[in-house]
Amino acid sequence: MKKILVVVALFSFSKGFARQPQPGLLSAAEKNAIVYMWEEEKLARDVYDSLYVKWGGNPFGNIRQSERVHMDRMLQLITRYDLSDRVDVHKAQPGLFKNDHLQRYYKELVASGTVSLAGALKAGATIEELDIRDLEERMAQTERKDILETYRFLKQASENHLRAFVRKLKMQGVDYKPVILSGAGFAQIIGSVNVRGM
C-alpha cells in the first residue's frame, strides 16, 4: 500500500513539474517574440531619450525611465530562457537596431518628433500603439505564465503612456486619431483609468 502511495505521489509531482516553464523548450515563435519585444522596448527608450533632449519635460522624462524598466523585464526573460546570444545587450547603441522594421520606425519617429512638440507627442503615441498591438499578437503565441505576466505588465504600461500622450496633445489643441490600433480598441484604452506602478 505504501509503495502505491509513493508511486502515485511521484507521478503527481512529475506531472506538476512538467507543467512548469522549462528553459530551452520555447517554440521558435516564443523565442523570436521575446527578442523582438526587448528591441521594441529599446525603440521606445531611444526615441524618448532623443525627444527629451529636444523638448525636455514630461511625458518624455518619466516615460523614458519606464522604458528602461521594461527593457530589464524583457532581459529577465532573455536570461531565463538562455536567449542572450540573440541580444547584444552591452553594445546596444542608441538608435541602432538589428530589426530593419524597428530601425525604420526609429528614423521616421525621431525625424517627425523633432519638427514640433505636437509631432513629438504624436510620435510617442504611435510608439505606444505599436507596442500594444505587438504585445497583443505575441500574447496569443504563448501559454507560459511568466511570459504572459511580463507582456501584460508592458501592455498596461503602454496603455498608461498612450493616455498620457493623448492628454498632452489635447492640451496642445490636437485631437489624436489612432494610426495602428482600431478605433474601438483605441477608444476603450483612452476611456480607461491608469494602472499604478507602471
Q: Is the pLDDT of residue 2 over 50?
A: no
What is the Cα Rg of the chain in Å? Answer: 20
Q: What is the pLDDT of residues 77-101, one digit of tens each?
A: 999 999 988 877 656 789 999 899 9
CA–CA separation, 137 vs 29, rounded Å?
Answer: 11
Query: Residue 24 has which C-alpha cell?
Result: 530551452
Q: How confident is the model at residue 195 (pLDDT cuts 50, 70, 90)?
A: confident
CA distance 160 to 30: 25
How much is the pLDDT for 22? 55
Residues 135-188 have pLDDT tens digits of 999 999 999 999 999 999 999 999 999 999 999 999 999 999 999 999 999 999
The CATH class of 26-190 is mainly alpha
pLDDT of residue 5: 39
